[in-house]
Amino acid sequence: MKLPIISGTDVVKALSKVGFVMTRQSGSHMILVNSFKEKITELYRNIKSLQKELY
């Protein structure tokens, strides 16, 4: 069974709904933290600009 492909935007939206807040961004990586000080680093790329670079 394959997992669905989701964008970084969708991941950030889902994490925001469960209490994570973006604290900073370093290049294409967003660091999100919740109230328990748990950190998640998410790769966040603009897919349209990436497609333009490839073609």
Residue 41 domain-assigned (yes or no): yes
Q: Which domain range does residue 22 map to?
A: 8-54
pLDDT on residue 36: 92
Residue 37 domain-assigned (yes or no): yes
Residues of the chain with pLDDT > 70, as a percent, come to 80
Residue 35 domain-assigned (yes or no): yes
Residue 33 domain-assigned (yes or no): yes
**pTM here?**
0.67
**Reported confidence tier of residue 16, pLDDT bands at 50, 70, 90:** very high
Signed CA dihedral, 42, 48, 52, 55: sign only? positive
Domain count, the chain: 1
pLDDT on residue 42: 84
Residue 2 domain-assigned (yes or no): no
Instruction: Tell me which residue of 35, 34, 43, 38 sits closest to 11, measured CA to CA.
Output: 43
